[in-house]
Structure 1
Amino acid sequence: MANFAKSNVPRFSVDVYQNEYLPEEGREVNAIVTVTSTGGGTTGGMPLPVADLPVTDPGAGVVIMVDCSGSMDYPPAKMRNAREATVAALETLRDGVAFAVVAGTHVAKEVFPGDGKLAVADTTTRSQAKEALRKLSAGGGTAIGTWLRLADQLLASAEVPVRHGILLTDGRNEHEEPEELKAALDSCAGHFTCDARGVGTDWEVKEVTGIASALLGSADIVADPSDLAADFTQMMETAMGKEVADVSLRLWTPQGAEVAFVKQVAPTVEVLTERRTEAGPRAGDYPTGSWGDESRDYHICVRVPAAAIGQEMLAARVSLILPPPAGGTAPAAPQRLSQGLIRAVWTDDLVATTSINPQVAHYTGQAELAQVIQQGLDLRKAGDEGGATAKLGRAVQLASASGNADTAKLLSKVVDVVDAAAGTVRLKTKVSDADEMTLETRSTKTVRVKK
């Protein structure tokens, strides 16, 4: 009997875009892999058949971590805005989702439910959580690693496959060593995903983006605290759309081939190369986190053994893997959701071997764009105006060429653009902290290839 997907279970597809042709002795194969998950649904009144997907409602758990350090009282409206934003997020929770709220200072405390476990969202628990939030006040320091570890413990208390955190901070992580935060992130990685937000302009961009990167979530700035409620609502809506957790991108390569790098390149740039875990002979898994109804692009580079003209080989097999559900009585095998193939063909056709695939070219430029923005801002902070001008000029050129209008707009608040196509710019003499931090925080956001 065919296995039919329920309407709320995504179907996965893998599409590979590459120029498979290599010159004699050529070794490097580049491909853009587009992974798309779409909701179930019906076709002609019949369910869509899906061979290898679970048909049960996955369930979800969410922990909201709210900064309650002393700086949240300056101005006092900031703490009020944070409480209101948390209420807005709770109102966005769908019934049946497990949740908790944590107050973060130099220690982490459970605000609700307070018994070391998660509550189940319904009218009563939402009302109780809102009442508990009224008692939140600012005072103390900031040790974000303790917040994350408590969130991890709370999420582990519920048997839910989709586990998510939302973290808000307004300051630097001054009450624990950087190694302690890194250890906490290493401990939590793979257990839950986490969106991180910095409110105001007194926090450290690299700390917030580092948290989101390690836990496969999003990072952003909310410069005006009055915008927190809208941002929290949108974050929770996105979290509620996640239906399949812990999906891995598995790469199998033949004897003699090796993976040079794996990067997510849309909707943001995220290097996954060092996150590989071995998955059998010549195979490795790269984490992608939780999925809802969405599409992401990955740039994969494989080095293959050199070969003679006329030969061809499978350079890599790309599979999407879902681990077996926990708690089963008998060992279960991982599920392969979809797969694609990356090929290598050696030819003496000069036109074929020198052609660059449009998707590969586009995302190579987007990755460079993210890199030169970071380098330019770091040089600007270090007082190297010449170096900063050169890097940010290149960023303007890349943003213009790729049609990345959002990044181009953010760049225009830091530099005066003389000639976008040529990358000619002048550094602005006065730049607000909010504008500079917004550019840095959102530098990894990319645009898709123009069709």
Structure 2
Amino acid sequence: MANFAKPRAPRFAVDVYQNEYLPEGAREVSAIVTVTATGGAGLTRATAVAPDSAVVIMVDCSGSMDHPPTKMRGARDATAAAIDTLRDGTQFAVIAGTHEAKDVYPGGGRLAVADAATRAQAKDALRRLGAGGGTAIGSWLRLARHLFAGSTAAIRHGVLLTDGRNEHETPEDLAAALAACAGSFTCDARGVGTDWEVKEVTGIAEGLLGHADIVADPAGLAADFTGMMERAMGKEVADVALRLWTPAGAEVLYVKQVAPAVVDLTDRRTEAGPRAGDYPTGSWGDESRDYHVCVRVQEAGLGQEMLAARASLVVPEAGGATVLSQGLVRAVWTDDLAASTSINPQVAHYTGQAELAVVIQQGLEARKSGDFDGATAKLGRAVQLASASGNEDTAKLLAKVVDVVDAASGTVRLKAKVTDADEMTLETRSTQTVRVKK
């Protein structure tokens, strides 16, 4: 039996950026909480490490994957590339997804353990995959959950690929499957081609704390899957939560991840003791993320100071939790007008990034419905926000949908012809943000 060296876990730091000064009568306190994990073993570690990860790859094998045949071929090649990226000792399985789910490797409701032999066997099983049948993504997710339930791995990650709409189950079925799987594993989702539904794929990734993207050309799947698996192999701490403690009489208005993408965590709170709640953040490697926290506190008099919230990174455990790091959100009431009206640069930046995501989605919806004036206004505002914040990637995507007359003022014209791929790429990546310039 191999002797597995225990990997070095990352260290967490929490930094809080805010303007703590409030004018008389004000009650809302906003802060950007930056969480940074550093010093882990990372992707350069040796392969002989503790086998504490499990991966399930869900491959769409519905009939549409054969139109054109390059999609099914690309999916097989991409899954093989992902399997080659697995570390020795990683538990894994492959699901073929149609209107039902089948664990095609290793089968029997179990997970294999990655080594040279099992990788070869899995790739042999992939060669036999063909396209046929419908699409019921909820059943794929439920089977993945069942497979993960038989594993003791701390890091549990799914990868889901689809090329079509979820036509063989209701939206309620998919929502119920996502609710059942939340907390069991994280999941990245990919749409290949342009015949799938953006909101379905992004909803899966957001619900399971993963990342969604489009791969319009099947030829790009192998590189995309390899990158996804490398990032998954870099995760070293699982099930981390952002815990907010607030004083008596305070109310958490919202908690949003705002970098590297906008994800609203407000409704995912689970109670964690008196006046404390946990918001899930998933698994971590060496990386940094930003969260926008807004709390309404009880009013206090001029000159008074209050701890508006304590933000802690924790790993919940039976009977308690391990605190990884924490930061403090403060409120100070002042009659200094300059101090109380100053907007913290980080808060202002991410408020704009959240608005950017919303107006892109609203603009594309207006364009689809034939409201071209509304679409022009919303997408013009998006161009203005992207330009002001330095979000060059989003600006480039917007320029494929509108002709930019003046970015600073948001003056644009809708393009007469836009490819499905360009429109879907903008919609899929609309929530991706750029970090604030320090």
TM-score, normalised by the number of residues in structure 2: 0.96
Q: 1:303 aligns with which of 296, 317, 320?
A: 296
Give a deviation string over 1:29-85, Cα, whole Å, max 9, x none: 0000000011247xxxxxxxxxxxxxx947110000000000000111111110000
1:415 aligns to 2:402 (yes or no): yes
| Paired amino acid for 1:366 | Q
Q: Distance in 1 between matches of 2:8 and 2:129?
A: 36
1:141 aligns to 2:128 (yes or no): no
Structure 1, gaps ≥5 residues long: 42-55, 325-330
Cα deviation for residue 333 of structure 1 reads 2.8
Q: Distance in 2 between matches of 1:257 and 1:58?
A: 43
Q: 1:170 aligns with which of 129, 141, 163?
A: 163
Counterpart of 1:386 in 2: which secondary structure?
A: helix
Q: 1:211 aligns with which of 204, 210, 224?
A: 204
Structure 1 segment 297-446 matched on structure 2, within 5 A? 297-324=290-317, 332-446=319-433
Cα deviation for residue 115 of structure 1 reads 1.4
Q: Distance in 1 between matches of 2:40 and 2:191?
A: 36
| Paired amino acid for 2:390 | G
Q: What is aligned with 1:116?
A: 109
Q: What is aligned with 1:255?
A: 248
Runs of 4 or more consecutive aligned structure 1 residues displaced over 6 Å after TM superposition: none
Cα deviation for residue 132 of structure 1 reads 0.6
| Paired amino acid for 1:430 | K
Q: Distance in 1 between matches of 2:375 and 2:8?
A: 48
Give a deviation string over 1:324-352, Cα, whole Å, max 9, x none: 3xxxxxx5531000000000000000000
Q: Distance in 1 between matches of 2:319 and 2:301?
A: 43
Q: What is aligned with 1:232?
A: 225
Structure 2, gaps ≥5 residues long: 42-48
- Inter-CA distance 360–439: structure 2 relative to 1 (3 Å threshold): same
1:184 aligns to 2:177 (yes or no): yes
Counterpart of 1:261 in 2: which secondary structure?
A: strand
Give a deviation string over 1:91-128, Cα, whole Å, max 9, x none: 00000000000000000001100011100000010011
Q: Distance in 2 between matches of 1:95 and 1:234?
A: 17
Q: Distance in 2 between matches of 1:128 and 1:317?
A: 50
Q: Distance in 2 between matches of 1:168 and 1:20?
A: 45
Structure 1 segment 4-23 matched on structure 2, within 5 A? 8-23=8-23
Cα deviation for residue 7 of structure 1 reads 5.8
Counterpart of 2:320 in 1: which secondary structure?
A: coil
The alignment's C-alpha RMSD in Å is 1.2
1:449 aligns to 2:427 (yes or no): no
Q: Distance in 1 between matches of 2:432 and 2:21?
A: 30
Counterpart of 1:33 in 2: which secondary structure?
A: strand
| Contact kept in structure 1, 2:50 and 2:89, CA below 8 Å | no
TM-score, normalised by the number of residues in structure 1: 0.93
Q: Distance in 1 between matches of 2:429 and 2:409?
A: 23
- Inter-CA distance 266–311: structure 2 relative to 1 (3 Å threshold): same
What fraction of aligned residue pairs are identical, expressed as a percent? 77
Q: Distance in 1 between matches of 2:191 and 2:389?
A: 28
Cα deviation for residue 413 of structure 1 reads 0.2
Q: Distance in 1 between matches of 2:211 and 2:227?
A: 12
Counterpart of 2:59 in 1: which secondary structure?
A: strand
1:73 aligns to 2:66 (yes or no): yes
